[in-house]
Amino acid sequence: NAGVTQTPKFQVLKTGQSMTLQCAQDMNHNSMYWYRQDPGMGLRLIYYSASEGTTDKGEVPNGYNVSRLNKREFSLRLESAAPSQTSVYFCASSEALIRGNSPLHFGNGTRLTVT
Amino acid sequence: SQQGEEDPQALSIQEGENATMNCSYKTSINNLQWYRQNSGRGLVHLILIRSNEREKHSGRLRVTLDTSKKSSSLLITASRAADTASYFCATDSYSGGGADGLTFGKGTHLIIQP
């Protein structure tokens, strides 16, 4: 099993450019999440999808959009990248439809630099 | 906003010693989880402890939960070089439902000296 797969692994963007981070899971999980990790800040939730067809904002959604394409795939889009979006982005999935009831499975991250 | 906060921020011990990390949180929870992150990798789930449990073991890991003090601890016994990593606690908060993710602390960076 591949688990949670994120692409790309690294990306450099110029301010104002757009891009989509891709995430796919092969565990038949209901819920999927996008987090960003910054030094000294821990992980912060950007958006989540409790189940196929639903998406909701997390703690830091500004500047991002998401699409739950199907049960397997959950993409994160930066429409106009800003230097403040330089970060490591993690996608995660879990079985639970109830918060905290099951572990999150993480991908290995996308390291994004915006210049 | 941070729900869980780990303490200490960094910890360096000799191989074979025990390592203890603490986590404090602010609001009532259903569950608390601990994760490990090796450098350059994603987080890996270690243990989930429910609010009605006081202690849980998994191999060399022992987690305790004190809901009256809103705190948890992670003990790693007989540490190994491979235990070098950052360790995070993560909490939900009691909301009656909703899969809106977990809230992570900033982590404890553990270094095991050979």
Give the DSSP letter string of A63-92.
Answer: TEEEEE-SSSBEEEEESS--GGG-EEEEEE
Looking at the complex, does the CB of residue A33 fall below 8 Å from at least one CB of chain B? yes
**Residue B66: partners with Cβ closer than 8 Å, 6 or more residues away:** B54, B72
Cβ–Cβ gap A106/B102 under 8 Å: no
User: Among all residues of chain B, which has the CA nearest to that of A97?
Assistant: B99
- What is residue B96's predicted lDDT score, i.e. its pLDDT? 40
On the question of pLDDT at A73 being above 70, the answer is: yes
pLDDT in tens, A36-63: 999 877 899 999 998 888 999 988 999 9
Four-CA torsion A39, A108, B95, B107, nearest 10 degrees: -40
C-alpha distance from residue B81 to each of A97, B84, B114 (Å): 37, 6, 6
**What residues of A are in contact with residue B90 (Cβ under 8 Å)?**
104
Query: What's the DSSP call for residue B80?
Result: -
- What is residue B3's predicted lDDT score, i.e. its pLDDT? 64
**Residue B31: partners with Cβ closer than 8 Å, 6 or more residues away:** A100, A101, B48, B49, B50, B51, B91, B92
- What is residue A94's predicted lDDT score, i.e. its pLDDT? 92
Q: Quote the tokens at residue B46.
A: 């270690």
Looking at the complex, does the CB of residue A40 fall below 8 Å from at least one CB of chain B? yes
Residues A98-103 have a mean pLDDT of 72
Q: Measure CB to CB from residue A99 to each of B41, B43, B92 and give the nearest one.
A: B92
Backbone angles phi, psi at A5, to 5 degrees: -115, 130
User: Among all residues of chain B, which has the CA nearest to that of A29?
Assistant: B99
* A2–chain B nearest CA distance, Å: 13
Looking at the complex, does the CB of residue A76 fall below 8 Å from at least one CB of chain B? no
Give the DSSP letter string of A38-52.
Answer: ETTTEEEEEEEESST
